[in-house]
Copies of this chain bind each other. A is one copy, B any other.
Amino acid sequence: MSRQTSCVARSARSRKSYHHGDLRASLLDAAVELIAERGLHGLSLRECARRAGVSHAAPYRHFADKDALLLAIARRGFELLTRTGVAAMRGVEDPRDRLDAYGVAYVRFAVDNPVLFRVMFTAEIEEPEPESEPEPEPESQDHTGRAFELLMEAAAAVVGEDSEQAQELAAVASWSLPHGLAMLILDGRIPAEQASTPDEAEDLARKILAQWRGPLS
Report how far A186 CA is from B118 CA in the complex, Å: 14
Across the interface, A212 reaches (CB within 8 A) one of B168, B175, B186, B214, namely: B214
Structural contact, A176 and B208, CB atoms closer than 8 A:
yes
Structural contact, B181 and A212, CB atoms closer than 8 A:
no
- Inter-chain contacts of A184 with B (CB < 8 A): 172, 175-176, 179
Closest chain B residue, CB of each to CB of A38: B124
Closest chain B residue, CB of each to CB of A118: B123
Structural contact, B40 and A186, CB atoms closer than 8 A:
no
Structural contact, B176 and A180, CB atoms closer than 8 A:
yes
Most buried by B among A177, A180, A187: A180
Report how far A148 CA is from B180 CA in the complex, Å: 14
Q: A151: shortest Cβ distance to chain B, in Å?
A: 11
- Let me know if A46 is at the binding interface, CB within 8 A: no
- Determine how many copies of this chain the complex contains: 2
- Inter-chain contacts of A179 with B (CB < 8 A): 176, 180, 183-184
**Range, interface on chain A:** 35 or more
- Let me know if A191 is at the binding interface, CB within 8 A: yes
- Let me know if A160 is at the binding interface, CB within 8 A: no
| A 152-187 binary contact with B (CB < 8 Å = 1; else 0) | 000000000000000011001101111111111011
- Let me know if A3 is at the binding interface, CB within 8 A: no
Closest chain B residue, CB of each to CB of A208: B173
| A 43-68 binary contact with B (CB < 8 Å = 1; else 0) | 00000000000000000000000000
Closest chain B residue, CB of each to CB of A148: B189
List 9 other contacts, CB 8 Å, given A123-B186, A175-B184, A176-B208: A122-B122, A144-B189, A169-B208, A172-B194, A173-B212, A176-B184, A177-B177, A180-B181, A211-B214
4 closest Cβ pairs, A-B complex: A180-B180, A214-B214, A176-B180, A179-B180
